[in-house]
Amino acid sequence: MSTVEANGITFGIESFGADDAPLVLLVGGPTMLSWPDALCERLAAGGCRAVRYDLRDSGESTTRDPQAPAYTLRDLAADAAALADALGGRPAHLAGIGVGGMVAQVAALDHPAAFSALTLARTRPVAPGPPDDDLPDHDRAAMSRLFARATPDWADREAVAEFAAGGAEILGDDPAAARAVAARIWDRTPGTSEAVQTANQLGLVFAKLDCAPRWRERLPGIEIPTLVVHGRHDRFFPVGNGEAIAREIPGARLLVLEEAATAFPDTTADEIAGEMLALAPPPGRTR
């Protein structure tokens, strides 16, 4: 892992594949570890340079005050465009997961020349908060259980990992995998326990961001090849959210992972990577 300066911010990044290979920029949701190792490795094996990064206020990227961010969603979108330029200076395949998928949608709309393809994974076309009437909201029973739990001591690595495992069980994901990822996030989150909390609570920082103006109505203006990936059993952002995005972006392909919930298990890496590589194939590959 290393860092890169772009848009006045220091970003923690991890790169897979040759530095001169076509870039796939993976927007964290919010940390880079939201993107599974297995998927990054498959993209590199397919001829790409997969670079995952931490959003501001998470992981090894610049952290100031996670509880009161002095930036907007559009600033995070500008970060993605600047980082793509810093890493290669040519249009990149942009991929966002979870709240990072919201960043990616806005980035593709605000900076169309920076990106050649778009992948949106387990996300939705509106900002955090109550969704539009035609979009499915979080599963109420799962959210009730998820947020009824006592929060752990964020300075206690094992307690944080166990908390993540419990949340994964509620969401229908693999508790062991969630426990391992949470421990890795804890290990690489500098500073106070507050920073650890931000890194481990999905979208906490986004709840405090200015996400105006709405971008859903702009989605038909996306002209680059787009892939939407969603788990059939996602209880956090139910699959109807991914279906709505795919309907509204012209020509978008929807990949529904029939056995997946919120997290993408390693067993799905080949299928997801194959679809991403087909979307914008590196030189020498055909669609």
Q: Cα(71)–Cα(134) distance, rounded to whole angstroms? A: 29
The per-residue pLDDT for range 186-244, each reduced to its tens digit, is 888 755 455 455 544 444 455 567 778 899 999 999 999 999 999 999 999 999 999 99
Distance of CA 190 to the CA centre of its chain: 20
- pLDDT value at residue 76: 93
Share of the chain above pLDDT 90, in %: 73
Q: What are the φ and ψ backbone dihedral angles of 195, each rounded to 5 degrees?
A: -65, -35
Q: What is the mean pLDDT of residues 111-117?
A: 97
Q: What is the pLDDT of residues 163-185, one digit of tens each?
A: 999 999 999 999 999 999 999 98
Confidence (pLDDT) at 158? 93
**What value does the mean pLDDT take over residues 114-142?**
94
* pLDDT band (50, 70, 90) for residue 259: very high
- Residue-averaged pLDDT of the chain: 90
State the pLDDT at residue 202.
43
- Exposed, middle or buried: residue 241 (CB in 10 Å: 0-12, 13-18, 19+)? buried
Q: What does residue 29 show for φ and ψ, rounded to 5 degrees?
A: -135, 60
Report residue 23: phi and psi, to 5°: -85, 130
Burial 79-113, CB ≥16 within 10 A → b, else e: bbbbbbbebbeebbbbbbbbbbbbbbbbbbbbbee
**What pLDDT does residue 286 have?**
47
Q: Report how far Cα 195 is from the mean position of its chain's Cα atoms.
A: 18
Report the C-alpha gap between 10 and 7 in whole angstroms.
8
Tokens describing residue 114: 């920076």
> Lowest-confidence range among 110-114, 122-126, 182-186?
182-186
**Higher confidence at residue 82 or residue 188?**
82
Distance (Å, whole) CA 141 – CA 135? 17
Which pLDDT value is given to residue 201?
46
* pLDDT band, very low/low/confident/very high, at 284 (cuts 50, 70, 90): low
37 CB-near residues (< 8 Å, 6+ apart): none
Instruction: Tell me if 234 sits within 8 A of 263, measured CB to CB.
Output: no
Q: What is the pLDDT of residue 200?
A: 47
* Residue 133: both structure tokens together: 């009437």
65-69, 104-108, 184-188: least confident range: 65-69
Q: What angle do CA 46, 38, 278 make, to 5 degrees?
A: 35
Q: What domains, with CATH codes, occur in the chain?
A: 2-134+201-279 (3.40.50.1820)
Distance CA 174, CA 86 (A): 36
